[in-house]
Amino acid sequence: MMVIRPIRQSDLKALYRLAEKTGVGFTSLIPNEAILQKKVDGATASFAKESVSTPNNEDYLMVLEDTATGDIVGTCGILATVGLEEPFYSYHLGTITHASRELGVHNAIPTLILNNDFTGFSEICTLFLEEDYRHSKNGQFLSKSRFMFMAQFPERFTEKVFAEMRGISDEKGVSPFWEGLGRHFFSIDFERADELTSLGSKQFIAELMPNNPVYVNLLPPEAREVLGKVHKNTQPARHLLEQEGFRYENYVDIFDGGPSLEARVQDIRAVRDSRLYLANIGLPKGIGEGSYYLVSNTKLMDFRCILIQRAIPPSSAMTLTQEEAEHLCIINKEPIRIVELSPYAGR
C-alpha cells in the first residue's frame, strides 16, 4: 500500500536519492546533504509543534512510502510562510500604456515588475515522484494529500496559498528566459543562479536585478515564448492544481519565467469538500470498485493519508480494512477525513 506520512530523520538517504533525480530548476530539492538535513530537521520540528497561533517558518515535508518494500518514492511539502527570513521575489506581468493623441498612437506594452507580493503567504512545494511510480493515480494522491493536511490544520497556514511551477529549460539545463533576461544582469549560468537560491543566498537578487519595469517586447522571442509556461515534466502537476481551483494570476519566476498558481485555501476543492467521518474496521463492500477516495487521520505528528477505492460512498462512517486502519494509525471509531480524489469525469 502507498502511504503519505511526515518525513523522518531516517529518510535522509532516500531524500537525497530523490533529489539526485529532480534536475535543474527544482530548487526546493537539490542533492546537497547539508541542505537536505536542514529540511528534515525543520520538518520534524514543525510536525512536533503541538500548537501554532500564527503561521511562521514551519516546513511540513512529507514522503510517499511503498509499504510493500519500505522504499520512499516521492515527496510533497507545504511551507507555512515564505519571505519572512529571506526576501521572496517574483515578477508580475503587467501593462504600461504609451499613447499620443497627436500621432493617434495607443500602445499597451506588457512589462515585468520585480516584487515581493507573496511575502508571508503559504506555499505548496517539493512535489516529486519517482518515474517508476507515475501510475495508478500516485501523482494525484501525492499532490492532493497536502490539502487533507491543510483542511485538518487550517490555523497553520495563511488564507492564500501559492505554488511556483518549474519553467521551461532544455535537457542541458539552459533556460531561454534566463538567457534572454537574467544573464544580462547576473553574468552566471541559470544552474548556478538556481543553486545559490537553493542555498538560501538571495541577497544577490536585490543587488543585481533591475528594479525598473522590464519591457517584454524587448526580450528575445525565445524568452517571450516561454513566459508563464511550465516544464514538460511539470505539466501534470499544473493540471492537478488547476483541477483543484488554482489559477495563474500573471506572476512568474524571476529565473525561468515559470508561472505561479494561487488559490484561497478554503476554495481548494479537496479542502472545501473533505468531511470528517468515523472509521469502522471490518470487511468493506465494493473494494477495488467505484470512486477513489483520499483518506487521512486527524493527527499531527502521526499524520497519515492513503488512497482507497470503494463502490459505496461514505455516509456517517466509512468501513476500512484492518490493513488500511493500521496504515492510518487509527483504531475503530476514530475520526478520519475523506474526500473524493477527483470528482471530474474522465480525469
The answer to whether 231 is a known catalytic residue is yes
Rounded to 10°, the helix 138-152/235-243 angle is 40
Of residues 231, 265, 227, 232, the one with CA closest to residue 248: 227
- Secondary structure (3-state) at 120: coil
Of residues 62, 127, 122, 43, the one with CA closest to residue 88: 122
Q: Which helix (H) or strand (E) holds 149?
A: helix 138-152
β-pair partners for 90 = 115
DSSP state letter for 215 = E
From 92, 135, 184, 231, the catalytic residue: 231
- Secondary structure (3-state) at 23: coil
Could you tell me the CA-to-CA distances from 237 to 131, 143, 188, 248, 333 in Å, in that order? Answer: 14, 8, 29, 13, 35
- Report residue 217: phi and psi, to 5°: -70, -5
Please say whether the beta carbons of 314 and 295 come within 8 A.
Answer: no
Could you tell me the CA-to-CA distances from 286 to 113, 158, 215, 279, 314 in Å, in that order? Answer: 54, 38, 58, 16, 12
Of residues 268, 305, 289, the one with CA closest to residue 142: 305
- Which residues, including other chains, have CB under 8 Å from residue 172's CB and lie 6 or more apart? none
| Active centre residues (catalytic) | 231
